[in-house]
Structure 1
Amino acid sequence: MVTQSKNKSINGRLVAIGCNYEPWIALLEQSGWKTHCCYDLRTADAILEEYSPCICIVDLSNNDFSLNSISLRANKTKQVRWIALIKKEQLETDVICQFINNYCVDYFSMPIPSTLLLDTVGHQLGMLEIEARTWVEVTSQHDMGLYGDSKSVKQLRDMVRRVASTEVNVFLTGENGTGKELIAKSIHNLSKRKNAPFINVNCGSLTSDEEKIAFLNSATKLHDDEKPKFNGTILLDNVEELSKELQDELLRYLQAPAGESINEDVNCDIRIVVSSSADLETAVANGEFSKELYYRLNVFHIKVPTLRERGSDIYLLAEKFLGQFSNEYNTLASSFSEDSKQLLLRYSWPGNVRELMNQVKRAALLAEGSEVKAEHFDLPSKSNLKQSLRNIKDEAEKDVLVAVLETHRGQVASAAKDLGVSRATMYRLLNKHNIVPDVRYYNNGQMGE
């Protein structure tokens, strides 16, 4: 019997990619399902966006689509349950099995058992309803790294929700201060391991001498059993700093058969999340990081956007932080002046969310009344920014003049011709930068100013 939903947002919608109108589709429609068949993947993108939450059945039996294209769509869609249709002999194909294992809730081989399929999609519809009601909102106040309305952070939240329900290893990359640890915690809190420990290990502080593999041994401190079992999540922060020895130990653990532990004192069933602000691909190419380990860790890659890429979120985050710190420090600060707003939006935030948080904390403490002003931030003012740009331009202009003069051995006329300016303009520029060309010095291999 098909599970019927009382939630209007989940109403028995099904998308069939690469499927002809067949008896099993007619049966679904007779049972109250709203179906849509399509062959074009771009059309499928639009339909999945409109239909979500929904069931998506993809026919892989005729190899009409590249698995990579389907995987990309399965990876980015939210609240879509994927089911594959295949030929029985395709189960001998590794890539097909890997796709089913990573992205599908079920599969059926030809010919399609209509009644069983009807039961399966009905059950998955019920699961979607439960999921929609019970998903934890990851934009809560303690998860500031995921708070915002920008397109990039919405996509980030969708990826976190999708991967959290799986057991795959996650690889987080992004600049310092973007909130990679908060994202790792969100993945843990949204997973079935949420009641187990979450351990953050800074790989830069580990040495092969102190522990055989420190992040696994740390689990023994959490239990009093003779042989404790650790089934939580471990974040390996700054994973690029793992020593060669620990890289080898970690790789050996990942290669071990299921249920086998490299630590005799601890039964380990862990999920690994790694993070890095470095270019790990370059480190692999240079032989500084194990290639095989990199590919085993980089199962699901999430690139955390910078605050610069989240422009519309800057003020939202600032307001959120201000409310938090005003309550924490019992200050009156509750709003931003117009000049402080402009300063927040104009600054490039090289330290990302962490820098914004620290700046708002400072402002909340310094504000004497209810309004935070630009002077309460330790950031370059508008005039200082203009002055910095002017200085950069002047220095670059001076460097070009000196270099051209050196090329032409101090001859102003030929240097001016090379730059495409008149001799008068050339002398004006030289005077501006206090450059005095002396042909004798240039001919002796020196530059005089």
Structure 2
Amino acid sequence: MVAINDKKKTGGRLVAMGCTYEPWIALLEQAGWKTQCCYDLRTADAILEEYSPCVCIVDLSNNDFSLNSISQRANKTKQVKWIAIIKKEQLKIDSICQFINNFCVDFFSTPIPSSQLLDTAGHQLGMLEIKSTSLSDVSLQCEIGLYGESKSIKHLRDMVKRVAMTDVNVLLTGEQGVGKELIANTIHNLSKRRNDDITVINCSSLTDDDQRIHFLNPLYNDNSNNTITNGTVLLNGIEELSKLLQLKLLNYLQQPENEKLNEQGVFDVRVITSSSIDLEQAVKNNTFNKELYYRLNVFHVVVPTLRERGADIILLAEYYLQQFSKEYNTLAMHYSEEAKQLLLRYNWPGNVRELINQVKRVSLLNDSNEVNLEHFDLPKKTNLKQSLRTIKDEAEKDVLVTMLEAHKGQVASAAKDLGVSRATMYRLLNKHNIIPDVRYYNGGFATE
């Protein structure tokens, strides 16, 4: 099989499909390439998947393979550069030309010009390295926070791909536990600042004189090693900033780039913020600075909840199970069908963070290779019925409030519109602790 490339060497990995050991292969190996000749398509898939990114040279000159089978494999591989070897007369065959046009970066006709092949393979290796640091396949580069195939996570990947290489301010919002810090790390790792640090600051722990936020004030001078002058800063829970720190942050964001200076040089810090609340509502409640909100909300990324991600729940659960089995040297490797159904039914109020904790628990408690229902500390079917009852009660309460508002707090007319007696209406109001003395008055609400 193809040997894994040592990153300290200059060579790459190459798979030669259908090729005998020829002089050009020896030349590649002398140049530092790790090569493997593969003659069986049944093993080719595993080799290409395990060792990509790589260059694959496929010999079509002897018609040893089904061209359709090769095309299917070439279509599936995103981190493989394909080069074809053919006979000159095969250029008259439409299917050969179509394969080269659709999937190959180059082709050579026999006899093989070894030095030219070496140059081409080396250039394609360089292209793969460029691709590995670009955003062309963000799903392969990203943190686990972007792992999955649901519509919502694909949209999130697209948003991250669009904003990562810019310097605009990013506001991440979403419920607690959805992975906002993971997304911030992904944006940083895919940005031009990837070689600098990302500093995470929890705003709830900050005081007005906290030196961790000195970068907000360009006039601040600190000769210690803790000075933040570049990279990325993630302000977690931005709504927790005091009014004074909100003004400091606003002052920093308002200043021209050439004025963000101190004695040590330019402050070149990208600010990413996150929040688990509705900041727009906080602005309306006068608990968050309106101008600061609009400064931060240049590019708004909503991180979806776990319950919105459908089958991604199973993908994530399987991923973490594999990780924890290696970390803790446990036996659990897969889930029973009943366990998978439980994972899909559960509402996951704690989102990805709760899922990680559950998977860690079952990994530690399980003495077999299969995870079953009893290993989870989650509501089973009886509790699921309770959840459905809760949903029904909430819907019922919403209808009652809506009808009361429509009838300006008049219980009798609201009951008539709902088709229930006044006694039933009062029983329902008592059940949901609704006080029917709020009514419209001159276009607004008034309480008697």
What is the CA–CA distance in structure 1 between the aligned matches of 2:249 and 2:420, rounded to whole Å? 63
Show the 5 A alignment for 1:228-307.
230-261=229-260, 267-307=266-306
Alpha carbons of structure 1 residues 270 and 418: separation in structure 2 relative to 1, 3 Å: closer
Counterpart check, 1:349 vs 2:362 = no
Confirm or deny: 8 A CA contact 2:321 2:332 kept in the other structure: yes
Q: Who is 1:99 aligned against?
A: none
Q: CA deviation at 1:370?
A: 0.5
Q: CA deviation at 1:134?
A: 3.5
Q: Who is 1:223 aligned against?
A: 225
Q: Deviations over 1:323-356 (max 9, x none)?
A: 0011111110001111111100001111111111
What is the CA–CA distance in structure 2 between the aligned matches of 1:153 and 1:371, rounded to whole Å? 28
Confirm or deny: 8 A CA contact 2:236 2:275 kept in the other structure: yes
Alpha carbons of structure 1 residues 180 and 334: separation in structure 2 relative to 1, 3 Å: same
Confirm or deny: 8 A CA contact 2:216 2:252 kept in the other structure: no
Q: CA deviation at 1:417?
A: 9.5
Alpha carbons of structure 1 residues 397 and 329: separation in structure 2 relative to 1, 3 Å: same
Alpha carbons of structure 1 residues 198 and 219: separation in structure 2 relative to 1, 3 Å: farther
Give the letter aligned to residue 203 of structure 1.
C
Q: CA deviation at 1:221?
A: 8.3
Q: CA deviation at 1:387?
A: 4.2
Counterpart check, 1:183 vs 2:180 = no
Q: Who is 1:321 aligned against?
A: 320
Counterpart check, 1:174 vs 2:169 = no
Confirm or deny: 8 A CA contact 1:216 1:263 kept in the other structure: no
Q: CA deviation at 1:394?
A: 8.5
Confirm or deny: 8 A CA contact 1:174 1:277 kept in the other structure: yes
Alpha carbons of structure 1 residues 304 and 292: separation in structure 2 relative to 1, 3 Å: same
Q: Who is 1:157 aligned against?
A: 157
What is the CA–CA distance in structure 2 between the aligned matches of 1:281 and 1:391, rounded to whole Å? 28
Q: Secondary structure at the match of 1:201?
A: strand
Q: Secondary structure at the match of 1:233?
A: strand
Q: Who is 2:361 aligned against?
A: 362
What is the CA–CA distance in structure 2 between the aligned matches of 1:129 and 1:331, rounded to whole Å? 36
Alpha carbons of structure 1 residues 129 and 258: separation in structure 2 relative to 1, 3 Å: same
Q: CA deviation at 1:252?
A: 1.1
* TM norm structure 1: 0.56
Show the 5 A alignment for 1:194-213.
194-211=194-211, 213=213
Q: Secondary structure at the match of 1:270?
A: strand
Give the letter aligned to residue 233 of structure 1.
T
Confirm or deny: 8 A CA contact 1:147 1:153 kept in the other structure: yes
Q: How many residues align?
A: 292
Q: CA deviation at 1:161?
A: 1.8
Give the letter aligned to residue 205 of structure 2.
S
Give the letter aligned to residue 197 of structure 2.
P
Q: Secondary structure at the match of 1:145?
A: helix
Q: CA deviation at 1:384?
A: 2.1
Q: Secondary structure at the match of 2:324?
A: helix
Q: Secondary structure at the match of 1:385?
A: helix
What is the CA–CA distance in structure 1 between the aligned matches of 2:212 and 2:131, rounded to whole Å? 43
What is the CA–CA distance in structure 2 between the aligned matches of 1:252 and 1:421, rounded to whole Å? 59
Q: CA deviation at 1:131?
A: 5.9
Alpha carbons of structure 1 residues 356 and 132: separation in structure 2 relative to 1, 3 Å: same
Q: CA deviation at 1:259?
A: 2.7
What is the CA–CA distance in structure 1 between the aligned matches of 2:265 and 2:273, rounded to whole Å? 21
* TM norm structure 2: 0.56
Confirm or deny: 8 A CA contact 2:221 2:263 kept in the other structure: no
Q: Secondary structure at the match of 2:310?
A: helix
Q: Who is 1:147 aligned against?
A: 147
What is the CA–CA distance in structure 2 between the aligned matches of 1:142 and 1:161, rounded to whole Å? 10
What is the CA–CA distance in structure 1 between the aligned matches of 2:276 and 2:181, rounded to whole Å? 12
Give the letter aligned to residue 385 of structure 2.
K
What is the CA–CA distance in structure 2 between the aligned matches of 1:130 and 1:366, rounded to whole Å? 42
What is the CA–CA distance in structure 1 between the aligned matches of 2:393 and 2:282, rounded to whole Å? 37
Alpha carbons of structure 1 residues 205 and 397: separation in structure 2 relative to 1, 3 Å: closer
Q: Deviations over 1:174-210 (max 9, x none)?
A: 1111111111111111111111111001111111133
What is the CA–CA distance in structure 1 between the aligned matches of 2:393 and 2:255, rounded to whole Å? 60
Give the letter aligned to residue 152 of structure 1.
S
Confirm or deny: 8 A CA contact 2:188 2:198 kept in the other structure: yes
Confirm or deny: 8 A CA contact 2:178 2:352 kept in the other structure: yes
Q: Secondary structure at the match of 2:257?
A: coil
Give the letter aligned to residue 154 of structure 2.
K
Confirm or deny: 8 A CA contact 1:178 1:354 kept in the other structure: yes
What is the CA–CA distance in structure 2 between the aligned matches of 1:371 and 1:318, rounded to whole Å? 13
Q: Which runs of 5+ in 1 are unaligned?
A: 1-127, 401-406, 409-415, 431-449
Give the letter aligned to residue 356 of structure 2.
M
What is the CA–CA distance in structure 2 between the aligned matches of 1:266 and 1:140, rounded to whole Å? 36
Q: Secondary structure at the match of 1:354?
A: helix
Confirm or deny: 8 A CA contact 1:239 1:276 kept in the other structure: yes
Q: Secondary structure at the match of 1:207?
A: coil
Q: Secondary structure at the match of 2:274?
A: strand
Give the letter aligned to residue 361 of structure 1.
K
Give the letter aligned to residue 153 of structure 2.
V
% identical aligned pairs: 62
Q: CA deviation at 1:216?
A: 5.0
Alpha carbons of structure 1 residues 420 and 297: separation in structure 2 relative to 1, 3 Å: closer
What is the CA–CA distance in structure 2 between the aligned matches of 1:335 and 1:273, rounded to whole Å? 37
Q: Which runs of 5+ in 2 are unaligned?
A: 1-126, 400-410, 428-448
Q: Who is 1:40 aligned against?
A: none
What is the CA–CA distance in structure 1 between the aligned matches of 2:395 and 2:252, rounded to whole Å? 53
What is the CA–CA distance in structure 2 between the aligned matches of 1:204 and 1:177, rounded to whole Å? 16
What is the CA–CA distance in structure 1 between the aligned matches of 2:280 and 2:366, rounded to whole Å? 45
